[in-house]
Chain A
Amino acid sequence: MSTTPATADQTAPQTAQQAAGKPVFDPAAVRDDFPLLGVEVNGEPLVYLDSAATSQRPRAVLDAERRFLETVNSAVHRGAHTLAAEATELFEGARATVAGFVGAEPEQLVWTSGATAGLNLVAYSLGNAAAGRAVPGHEDAVRQWVPGPGDDIVVTEAEHHANLVPWLELAARTGAAVRAIPVHDDGTLDLDAAGALLTPRTRVLAFSHVSNVLGVVNPVEQLVALAREATGGTALTVLDACQSAPHLPLDLPALGVDVAVFSGHKVLGPNGIGALYGRAEVLEALPPFLLGGSMITTVTLEGAEYLPPPQRFEAGTQPVSQAVALAAAVDYQRAVADRFGTDALLAHERALERQLRHGLRELPGIRLLGDAAGTDDGTVERVALQAFEVDGVHAHDVGQLLDARGVAVRVGHHCAQPLHRRFGTTASVRASAGIYTTAHDVDVFLDALSGVRSYFGVA
């Protein structure tokens, strides 16, 4: 890594790290931990820039899942045999580890199959409360979050469909309206508009910590404060932390949101596992969504009583080996942070983000979504993730050419059609980094991209 400052702005965090004699993070030191990064694609070494879609897993995660399946696997929270007890212990231990990853207590963490399931859980729980199925003793608490005719659910224009469609459906079922906070040209949220959209009729404010298209870090505390100001604290605040969890240290209780979700497969863990964090009072007041075994205390032919959270929200068989492997992913990331220092990891993230965005800006015929014509004055906090369009070449064709050079990126609308419409397009290309992404990866990507327009005869 160069110590020559190209611009003070670009390298300040990194040089400060080095000047202070602190360790600098070099992703080359961890790449050998990820077997998949060694594959070749179309005869070229893989350059994996699609971590925002799914991250690659270190051997420690793969081994943890296999070890569990080979030595402990059995049903948790039932059965009296030795393996069942050990499996339960590992499963609950994983909950504590993953809760710790986001600054939460174990009982504040509900296992889900992923962020989409977590968001649906909250939306359907409120729908059940709207249908009169509040948790006995918590009717008043939940009532303030339940939308009805004339009420609003506030989201942003930049949401992933997973944090939009469940709310549209809840609104349709309850007679409420969904209103969206607009996005500025530089990719930031219009907070003045947010202030006006949030009113005493706001029942839910649901937004992403980091947009999966723009990479902009939204001001969570400020939005939570705006919601509190407008409603006196009665709106339920819901955070989609899918794209922040892989890039930033998270302390969800400190952010002040009521609930938050993230997915395991974006933080070096397996598919099919994710988590929903909730403040204790909030989880206690939310009625269950999925019903069945493992979430009840007493069942008769007339009705059932439910377990307290988190088990209340974990009906049926849980993805146990995936939970254990997700905990291994958290342990792995903690070990890397302990070895290099969180500041060094953040400095690297920032350097990659700058390299990616500035590199794209410098190529002719490229339009960045959320940073059109350099509208970002440098003060916007972002992670290393950027969507863009190539003038005269459709995103699919761009992706195909990059693939021929071994470069894996995402093309399409990235499950954010309203945001693409807002930026006047239907599809874009997205490059996104992970803990293992090197400056060389970004260089290869930019070089491959620079030949795309001439291949298609538009430059």
Chain B
Amino acid sequence: MAGLDSLYQELILDHAKRRLGATDLAELPELTESTCGATSHQRNPICGDEITLRVTLDGEVVSDIAWEGLGCSISQASASMLTDLARGTTTAELAQLTEGFREAMRSKGQLPLDEERYGDAAALSGVSKFTARVKCAMLAWVALEDATRRARPTTG
């Protein structure tokens, strides 16, 4: 199953188990007017995978990400890696990272993700060759993009 190993890299299987940022959202203190944050619920209607992700902003900086969700190893690993990557970035950096990630995922293996920029998430590069799995990898990113937009409605 050599072809598969480019998809299921060790790092991906690790993150799928560690699930950084995964939590029971109901247990978290509710967002108040003084905290700048928002939640986004995304689902992949084809397979039933879903994620609810909550972002908290401190000014322009992503101060926390928490999520709960069900899905395959790719979607769970992607959410975990994204949490690792996005905590502490500014919303502008995050928007650029997300755009670059989307481009790489759509590239059918042509655009690998830069390890220095993407950290562990660069291991998801191999997903782009498996077009049926791109949505799995994108799910958390779309949720974070949407939640961030909701948290900062005026500057979008």
**Chain A residues engaging chain B, CB cutoff 8 angstroms:** 42, 393-397, 400-401, 404-405, 411-413, 417, 420, 426-427, 455-457
Q: Which of B1-9, B34-42, B78-86 contacts A (4 or more CB under 8 A)?
A: B1-9
Residues of A within 8 Å of B50, CB to CB, are: 426
B124 to chain A, nearest CB (A): 14
A455 and B49 CA atoms in complex are apart in Å by 22
* Given known A-B contacts A400-B4, A400-B133, A457-B13, A412 and B46 have beta carbons under 8 A apart: yes
A116 to chain B, nearest CB (A): 16
A426 in contact with B49 given A396-B72, A396-B74, A400-B133 (CB within 8 Å): yes
Chain B contacts to A: CB under 8 angstroms: 1, 3-4, 7-8, 13, 46-50, 70-74, 76, 130, 133, 136
Q: Is B4 a contact of A396 with CB atoms below 8 Å? A: no
Inter-chain contacts of B72 with A (CB < 8 A): 394-397
Say whether A401 contacts B4, CB under 8 Å.
yes
Flag if A427 contacts B49 (CB, 8 Å). yes
Of A394, A396, A426, A455, which one neighbours B1 at CB under 8 angstroms?
A: A455
> With A400-B133, A404-B4, A456-B13 known to touch, is A420 a contact of B48 (CB < 8 Å)?
yes
Establish whether residues A396 and B70, one from each chain, have CB atoms under 8 Å apart when the complex forms: no
Looking at the assembled complex, report how far the CB atom of B14 sits from the nearest CB atom of chain A, in whole angstroms. Answer: 10
Find chain B residues with CB under 8 A from A457 CB: 13
Bound complex: CA A401 to CA B73 (Å): 12
State A455–B73 Cα separation when bound (angstroms). Answer: 12
Task: State whether A400 touches B130 (Cβ < 8 A).
Answer: yes
Establish whether residues B130 and A396, one from each chain, have CB atoms under 8 Å apart when the complex forms: no
A426 to B72, CA, bound (A): 11
Interface contacts beyond A397-B74, A412-B48, A413-B48: sample of 7 additional A-B pairs, CB < 8 Å, sorted by A: A394-B73, A396-B74, A400-B8, A400-B130, A400-B133, A426-B48, A426-B50
Rank and list the top 3 A-B pairs by shortest CB-CB distance, nearest first: A396-B72, A394-B72, A426-B48
A399-B48 Cα distance, complex, nearest whole Å: 15
Bound complex: CA of A420 vs CA of B76, how far in Å? 20
Give the Cβ gap from B152 to chain A, nearest Cβ, in Å: 31
Given A395-B72, A400-B130, A404-B3: A427 in contact with B13 (beta carbons within 8 A): no
The reply to whether A427 and B48 contact each other, CB–CB distance below 8 Å, is yes
- Tell me if B48 and A417 are in contact (CB < 8 A): yes
B130: which A residues are within 8 A, CB to CB? 400
In the assembled complex, the Cα of A401 lies from the Cα of B50 at a distance in Å of: 22
Query: Measured between C-beta atoms, what is the minimum distance from A398 to chain B in Å?
Result: 9
Q: How far is the CA of A457 from the CA of B18 in the complex (A)?
A: 13
Nearest CB in chain B to that of A428: its residue: B48
A404 in contact with B74 given A426-B49, A457-B13 (CB within 8 Å) = no
A448 nearest in chain B by CB position? B1
Residues from chain A with Cβ under 8 Å of B46 in the complex: 412
Residues from chain B with Cβ under 8 Å of A394 in the complex:
71-73, 76
Are A412 and B1 in contact, CB atoms less than 8 angstroms apart? no
Most chain A beta carbons < 10 A, residue from B1, B48, B72, B74: B48
Smallest beta-carbon distance B107→chain A, Å:
20
Tell me the minimal C-beta distance from A404 to chain B in angstroms.
Answer: 5
